[in-house]
Amino acid sequence: MHNINTSKSVNVAILTISDTRNQEDDRSGQAIQALLQAKDHSIVDYQIVKDELLLIQEVIATWTDNNDIQAIILNGGTGFSPRDVTYEAVSQVLDKQMDGFGELFRMLSYEEIGPKALFSRAVAGSKQATAIYALPGSTNAVKLAMEKLILPTISHFTDELVKK
Per-residue pLDDT tens digits for 102-138? 999 999 999 999 999 999 999 999 999 999 999 999 9
What are the distances in angstroms from CA 145 to CA 11, 120, 140?
A: 18, 12, 9
Number of domains in the chain: 1
In a domain, 120, yes or no: yes
Mean pLDDT within 49-53 = 96
In a domain, 154, yes or no: yes
Mean pLDDT of the chain: 95
Residue 60 lies in a domain: yes
Please say whether the beta carbons of 8 and 153 come within 8 A: no
Asked if the structure places residue 2 within a domain, the reply is no
Count, residues in the chain: 164
For 8-46, the pLDDT digits (tens) are: 999 999 999 999 999 999 999 999 999 999 999 999 999
pLDDT band at 164 (very low <50, low <70, confident <90, very high): confident
163 within some domain? no
* Pick from 35, 32, 37: nearest CA to 48: 32
Q: Return contacts of 26-35, CB within 8 angstroms, 24+ apart.
A: 27/139, 28/75, 28/76, 28/135, 28/137, 28/138, 28/139, 28/141, 28/142, 29/75, 31/139, 31/142, 31/143, 31/146, 32/73, 32/75, 32/142, 32/146, 35/143, 35/146, 35/147, 35/151
Read off the CATH number of the domain in which 141 is found. Answer: 3.40.980.10
Q: Provide the pLDDT for residue 3.
A: 55
- Domain holding 34, by residue range, is 11-158
Measure CA 153 to chain center. 13
Does pLDDT of 56 surpass 70?
A: yes
| 83 belongs to a structural domain | yes
Is residue 122 situated within a structural domain? yes
85 pLDDT band (50/70/90 cuts)? very high
